[in-house]
Amino acid sequence: MTAVSATDSILGNAAALACRECGAQYPIGPRYACDMCFGPLEVVYDYPNICRDTIESGPRSIWRYRALLPVPDDVLDTPNMEPGFTKLIRADNLARELGMRRLWVKDDTGNPTHSFKDRVVAVALAAARALGFRVLACPSTGNLANAVAAAAARAGIRSVVFIPADLEQQKIVTTAVYGGTVIAVDGTYDDVNRLATEIAGEEEDWAFVNVNVRPYYAEGSKTLGYEIAEQLGWRLPEQVVIPIASGSQLTKVDKAFTELGKLGLVDATPYRVYGAQAEGCSPVAQAFRAGLDVVRPVRPNTIAKSLAIGNPADGPYVLDVCRRTGGAVEAVSDEEVVDAMRLLARTEGIFGETAGGVTLGVLRKLLANGQLDPDAETVVLNTGDGLKTLDAVAPVVTPSATIPPSVEAFREVIEQLC
């Protein structure tokens, strides 16, 4: 599929980095922006001949797809979190409520730290070690921080996580418990990010997963696409709804579907990709509606904090994918987010985080406005766990009744509730 060769690559079949803007190629190494045009770099492969059997006989984790990831051949030999191969759940109850024919939830709450970030961090860590980095780092306010601190602990390497000092205590605890270094920064998340990028430029052996090893990190999201296809019995779904933060995940699922088709692992049937944002941070949805190719940054204001990136790096590529495949990008209000979280929990017993609510909320909206086909097989992503965003639903989720401890009181109230 590419002319590059991975013969000497230390990262498996990853052959080179290519600029997504100008196409300039660079050898595999610790770089992330094009020297020519400053465009983002992406991993290109010397694709192997690979068959379904090889994958199916691999480990029950993202590493079953290691031949299609930028990781060293011996990745299985190093202790790691073994994320991925989470459940693809046939959501018949939910489909019935929505008037859909066949709906699946790809449920990443089953990952080790209960979000999809375990996937991308595992790939970043494997690549970073091979490239000679000695510290795993990131700026983050939540899921990414958890995943980096946990993965570094398992791998036995140092982690340094930068967080805003005013972060809720519970989010600090869920990162600091893994025993890495957690540096609280007096400032906004933007300040934290800026500081991390500066440090990444100075500390040569620090891999900031979402900064200087981002091209490798981002590839980890392809595994969502691979798993969906394999779990459907080596088929592509007709429609897939994906949340947008930086937008990287959406573009990588599309990349995965395309690769699988080209490699002959699935029939390259058409599919439509839909992107989901919260209205309080919907720069890509706004650009989609306006028919623009560029994404105008916004200042986020939504309960869906894990998606609250006001200037999404992959926004333009998301627009490309959604338009090319005949999908769309939509946004829902925080109220619709909470409604959708409750709907998913009530119908399927899956308590997703706000990002899951955004994605299901958008699916619902797309159905209502006719952009999503209720009769086409659809997969919706739930990328994180409701346990991490309890505040979102707490105000509206309360006991059905409060009673004194007597059977009489129970009888009285249960009749009203039935």
Residue 82 C-beta: closest distance to a copy of itself, Å? 7
> Minimum distance between the CB of residue 320 and a copy of itself, rounded to whole angstroms?
34
Of 93 and 258, nearer to a copy of itself (C-beta) is 93
Binding mask 69-108 for a copy of itself (x = CB under 8 A): ----------x-xx----x--x-xx---------------
Cβ at position 267, least distance to a copy of itself in Å? 26
> Residue 316 pairs with which residues in a beta bridge?
none
Residues numbered 348 to 367 that lie near a copy of itself (CB under 8 A) are 348-351
- Could you give the CA distance from residue 225 to residue 237 in angstroms, rounded to a whole number? 10
**# residues contacting a copy of itself (CB under 8 A):** 77
**Would you count residue 279 as binding a copy of itself (CB under 8 A)?**
no
Q: What is the dihedral of CA 222, 228, 230, 234, to 10 degrees?
A: -110
Nearest approach in angstroms of CB 180 to a copy of itself is: 8
Q: Decide: is 399 part of the binding site for a copy of itself (CB under 8 A).
A: yes
Of 218 and 350, which CB lies nearer to a copy of itself in the complex structure?
350
Give the contact letters, 187-226, x = binds to a copy of itself (CB under 8 A), - = no: x---xx-xx--xx--x------------------------
Distance CA 412, CA 418 (A): 11
Residue reference for tokens 């609280």: 184
Q: What φ, ψ does residue 77 adopt, rounded to 5°?
A: -85, -10
Nearer to a copy of itself, 182 or 363 (CB): 182
Per CB under 8 A, 325 contacts a copy of itself:
no
Residues 101-140 that bind a copy of itself (CB under 8 A): 109-110, 112-114
Q: How far is the CB of 299 from a copy of itself (least distance, A)?
A: 18
Q: Specify the pairing of strand 14-19 against strand 41-45.
A: antiparallel
SS3 16: strand
For residue 218, what are the CA distances in angstroms to 12, 108, 215, 227, 409?
A: 16, 16, 5, 16, 56
CA dihedral in degrees (337, 346, 329, 224; nearest 10)? 120
Amino acid (one-letter) located at 374: P
Q: Quick one: CA dihedral 118, 119, 121, 127, positive or negative?
A: positive
Residues numbered 153 to 192 that lie near a copy of itself (CB under 8 A) are 153-154, 156, 160, 163, 165, 169-170, 172-174, 176-179, 181-187, 191-192
Please name which of 322, 342, 341, 334 lies closest in space to residue 384, comparing C-alpha atoms. Answer: 341
Closest-CA residue to 124 (of 137, 111, 142) = 137
**CB of 185 vs a copy of itself, minimal distance in Å:** 5
Residue placing its CB nearer to a copy of itself in the complex, 166 or 293? 166
Among 19, 131, 224, 341, the residue binding a copy of itself under the rule CB under 8 A is 341
Task: Mark 37-76 with x for binding to a copy of itself (rule: CB under 8 A) and - for no binding.
Answer: -----------------------x----------------
Residue 43 to residue 13: CA distance in whole angstroms: 10
Nearer to a copy of itself, 4 or 358 (CB): 358
Query: Integer distance in angstroms from the first to the last C-alpha of the chain?
Result: 61
Q: Where are the alpha helices (DSSP H) in 291-372?
A: 315-325, 334-348, 354-368
Residues 366-395, mask of contacts with a copy of itself (x by CB under 8 A): -------------------xxxx-x--xx-
Complex with a copy of itself: residue 36 or 396, whichever CB lies closer: 396
Report which secondary-structure segment, H or E, holds 155: helix 143-155
Nearest to 103 by CA among 386, 371, 347, 384: 347
Residue among 335, 328, 343, 349 nearest 98 (CA): 343
